[in-house]
């Protein structure tokens, strides 16, 4: 039986900034329009975190039963390591999805925006079919596309909408750098696993692009947000605060650029998450200051 610490490790807490940042930025947009509703923001955060943990457990289950994790380079997996049974991990994944669905339904009822129901259903389906089902799209180089859409556009715009009950175009623009930073987390993760994913039949974007072009993609995912934020300052003057996070991008970009591979990229993943979180908080503060 897996220990509590193993379950926490299996939830992959280092990936949680991908859930926190879009909700923070969406709330920053709402604050900038004098319309933040804190209990709705907290519910949106719960939904995002539940989906993130759920997809991590679902990936653990699906990759484990397929044998993709048999030669894993990164942190331990519950099924692949034998710490927990596939059934236990699958139950945990669907428990997280159910919790996200219940919290999301509360937001739908509060806003009476019934069109959010199919959006939520598609989000949960996307979380499962990333590595689940007979034709997982994560094995077909579409993982980054999904992350950009759901942890960028949908999460930021959705968080803003459930608070303001309207969608300013600033939320859509702000979702782009957020989505790129979420993609950076997945890109560096798949770069680390490129050697084992290919032989296992897992055709991630890293496998398709190859090592060199994947490193270029990672760099773009970190650099472009630092360009977009000051560009937004043309109409959101304080959005440029996010550029203060730039020093945190230097070390991971240099590491990827000089060809670091395998376990050494675990530190780069941590650094990417740190940059993502600090950038997101600064970006949130800048967008919120628009109300002044």
| pLDDT tens digit sequence for 141-184 | 999 999 999 999 999 999 999 999 999 999 999 999 999 999 99
Q: What is the 3-state secondary structure (H, E, C) of 151-189?
A: HHHHHHHHHHHHHHCCCCHHHHHHHHHHHHHHHHHHHHH
185 token code pair: 């987390």
pLDDT (tens digit, 9 = 90+) per residue, 107-142? 999 999 999 999 999 999 999 999 888 889 988 999
Between vectors from CA 7 to CA 140 and to CA 21, what angle results, nearest 5°?
60
Complete DSSP assignment for 174-236: HHHHHHHHHHHHHHHHHHHTHHHHTTTT-B-HHHHH-HHHHHHHHHHHHHHHHHHHHHHTTTS
Predicted local confidence at residue 74, as pLDDT: 62
User: What percentage of the chain exceeds 90 in pLDDT?
Assistant: 80
Q: What is the DSSP letter of 134?
A: S
Predicted local confidence at residue 70, as pLDDT: 57
pLDDT (tens digit, 9 = 90+) per residue, 30-39? 999 988 999 9
Instruction: Yes or no: say if 218 and 187 are a contact pair by the CB < 8 Å rule.
Output: yes
- Residue 193's Cβ-count burial label (10 Å; 0-12, 13-18, 19+) is buried
Predicted local confidence at residue 63, as pLDDT: 86
Q: What is the DSSP letter of 72?
A: -
| Average confidence (pLDDT) over 57-63 | 92
Lowest mean pLDDT among 10-14, 50-54, 109-113, 281-285: 10-14
For residues 75-102, b (16+ Cβ closer than 10 Å) or e, as one string? eebbbbbebbeeebbbebbbebbebbbe
Q: Name, in order, each residue with C-beta under 8 angstroms of 113's C-beta and a sequence gap of 6 or more.
A: 161, 162, 165
68 token code pair: 């993709």
* Distance of alpha carbon 265 from alpha carbon 45, whole angstroms: 28
Instruction: Yes or no: say if 121 and 98 are a contact pair by the CB < 8 Å rule.
Output: no
Predicted local confidence at residue 99, as pLDDT: 97
């Amino acid at each position: 039986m897996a220990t509590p610490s193993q379950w926490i490790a299996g939830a992959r807490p280092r990936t949680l900034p991908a859930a926190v940042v879009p909700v923070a930025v969406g709330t920053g947009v709402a604050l900038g329009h004098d319309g933040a509703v804190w209990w709705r923001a907290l519910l949106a955060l719960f939904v995002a975190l539940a989906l993130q943990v759920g997809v991590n457990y679902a990936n653990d289950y699906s990759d484990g039963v397929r044998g993709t994790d048999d030669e894993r380079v990164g942190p331990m997996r519950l099924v692949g390591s034998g710490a927990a049974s596939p059934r236990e991990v699958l139950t945990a994944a669907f428990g997280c999805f159910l919790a996200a669905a219940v919290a999301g339904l509360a937001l739908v009822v509060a806003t009476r925006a019934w069109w959010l129901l199919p959006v939520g259903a598609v989000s949960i389906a996307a979380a499962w079919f990333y590595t689940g089902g007979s034709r997982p799209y994560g094995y077909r180089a579409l993982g980054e596309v999904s992350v950009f859409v759901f942890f960028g556009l949908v999460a930021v715009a959705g968080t803003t909408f459930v608070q303001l009950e309207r969608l300013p175009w600033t939320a859509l623009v702000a979702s782009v750098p957020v989505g790129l930073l979420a993609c950076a987390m997945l890109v560096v993760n798949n770069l680390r696993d490129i050697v084992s994913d290919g032989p296992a039949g897992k055709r991630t974007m890293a496998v398709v692009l190859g090592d060199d072009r994947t490193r270029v993609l990672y760099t773009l995912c970190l650099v472009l947000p630092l360009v977009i934020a000051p560009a937004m300052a043309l109409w959101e003057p304080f959005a440029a605060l996010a550029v203060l996070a730039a020093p945190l991008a230097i070390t991971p970009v240099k590491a990827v650029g000089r060809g670091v591979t395998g376990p050494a990229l675990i530190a780069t993943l941590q650094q990417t998450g740190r940059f993502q979180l600090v950038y997101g908080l600064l970006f949130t503060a800048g967008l919120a200051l628009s109300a002044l």
